[in-house]
Amino acid sequence: MEKAKIKQYSDREREILYQSARMCDERKLDEITEELVDLILESEDISLIKSTALGLAIFRLLNNDSLATYVGLQRLLEAGMMLESDATIAIFEEHGEGAVADELRRVL
C-alpha cells in the first residue's frame, strides 16, 4: 500500500495562507475554526500531521482555548489545506469569505 502524501508549503505559500487567515471577519472565527477542527479530525490523513510541529501547535492552542483566534485560524488553515484543501476552501466560501477562498486557491 502506498503511503499518503500531504502538500508541503514553501515559506512564501505559508505566508499567503497566514495572510489569508487575517482577511477573515473576526466575528466568524468561532464558526470557521470549529468547522476546520471537525474537518481535520475527520480526515483520513490526520496521522500525517499529528506528531509534527504544526500538529503540536494546534494541540497547544486547543489546550489554551485559543483556536478561535487569528493565530489558531492560521494553524488550522495550514493543516486543512494540507489534508483537505477543497473542503477547506469550501468552508470559507460557505461563510461568505470568498476573498479568502480566492487567496487560498493561489497556493493550490
pTM score, whole prediction: 0.92
Phi, psi of 15, rounded to the nearest 5 degrees: -65, -40
What would the pLDDT profile of 59-83 be if each residue is shown by its tens digit? Answer: 999 999 999 999 999 999 999 999 9
Q: Determine the Cα–Cα distance for residues 73 and 77; give it in Å rounded to an integer.
A: 6
In whole numbers, what is the pLDDT of the chain averaged over residues? 93
Q: Where are the domains of the chain?
A: 27-105
User: Which three cell numbers, joined as nine digits, stand for 23?
Assistant: 482577511
